[in-house]
């Protein structure tokens, strides 16, 4: 296969991407001329020490932040050229997020928390939203908890709500920060099986930070980041 064909196969490309944060009078480099390529449908783990640049990398790929320099291409779109509104549309249509701290809204019940990303998609009618939410809750085994509020759930159940919320948009890419960190062993096994099944059946691209050996053992590729650069691939 030619290099150009390889390039077309890449769902995510980062070319010489750098990002520096200003903390008071100090500049802290988070990423330094980082290069990365992920193919569509990959199931990939990112590992590295605290402060190595993991969260910054996820935020840039997820279009939550902008790089200082370099180029990020997501599904053929150079994201640095997009307006804030266009970045929002890209996130809403193609990217799901699973945060370690859940970010659930306490006054909304489980159904409403999962439905929330769809409410800003006017092209999706209410009946379809309902069907998508019900399927997402069924996927994570929470269909009987639809009317519970987050404070009525265990930590593991809240994490499953967060996973359902990421899945409900049927995204092409899911970015996750320690997605199994708050789950017990049995729930972790079920969640890993679910994520892997979704990856295989729907060709969703998964890219996540994790220190969970059970999850890392299932991935196709492990990327190690150190001092803002990809150090090795295995």
* Alpha-carbon gap, residue 103 to 114, rounded angstroms: 11
Tell me the pLDDT of the chain (234 aa) as tens digits: 334 445 556 899 999 999 999 888 899 999 999 999 999 999 999 999 888 999 999 999 999 999 999 999 999 999 988 999 999 999 989 999 987 778 899 999 999 999 999 998 889 999 999 999 999 999 888 999 999 999 999 888 888 899 899 989 889 999 998 887 767 788 788 878 888 888 888 889 999 998 888 888 888 899 999 999 998 777
The overall longest dimension of the chain from CA atoms, in Å, is 54
* Alpha-carbon gap, residue 14 to 31, rounded angstroms: 11
For helices 155-167 and 185-202, the axis angle rounded to 10 degrees is: 10
Q: What architecture (CATH level 2) is domain 40-67+76-233?
A: 3-Layer(aba) Sandwich (3.40)
Residue 185: count of CB within 10 angstroms of its CB: 9
Beta bridge partners of 17: 34
Confidence at residue 83, expressed as pLDDT on a 0 to 100 scale: 93
């Amino acid at each position: 296969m030619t290099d150009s064909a390889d390039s077309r196969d890449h769902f995510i490309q980062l070319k010489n991407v750098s990002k520096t944060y200003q903390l008071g009078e100090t500049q802290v480099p988070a990423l330094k001329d980082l290069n990365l390529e992920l193919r569509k449908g990959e199931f990939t783990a990112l590992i590295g020490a605290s402060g190595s640049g993991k969260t910054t990398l996820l935020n840039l790929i997820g279009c939550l932040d902008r790089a200082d320099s370099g180029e990020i291409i997501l599904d053929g779109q150079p994201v640095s050229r997009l307006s804030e509104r266009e970045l929002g549309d890209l996130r809403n249509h193609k990217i799901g997020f699973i945060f370690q701290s859940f970010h659930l809204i306490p006054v909304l019940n489980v159904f409403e928390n999962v439905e929330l990303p769809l409410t800003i998609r006017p092209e999706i009618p209410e009946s379809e939203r309902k069907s998508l939410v019900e399927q997402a809750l069924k996927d994570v085994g929470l269909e009987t908890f639809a009317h519970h509020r987050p404070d009525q759930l265990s930590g593991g159940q809240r994490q499953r709500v967060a996973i359902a919320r990421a899945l409900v948009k049927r995204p092409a890419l899911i970015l996750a920060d320690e997605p199994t960190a708050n789950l017990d062993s049995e729930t972790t096994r079920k969640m890993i099986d679910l994520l892997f099944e979704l990856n295989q059946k729907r060709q969703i691209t998964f890219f996540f930070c994790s220190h969970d050996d059970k999850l890392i053992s299932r991935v196709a590729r492990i990327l190690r980041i150190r001092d803002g650069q990809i150090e090795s691939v295995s």
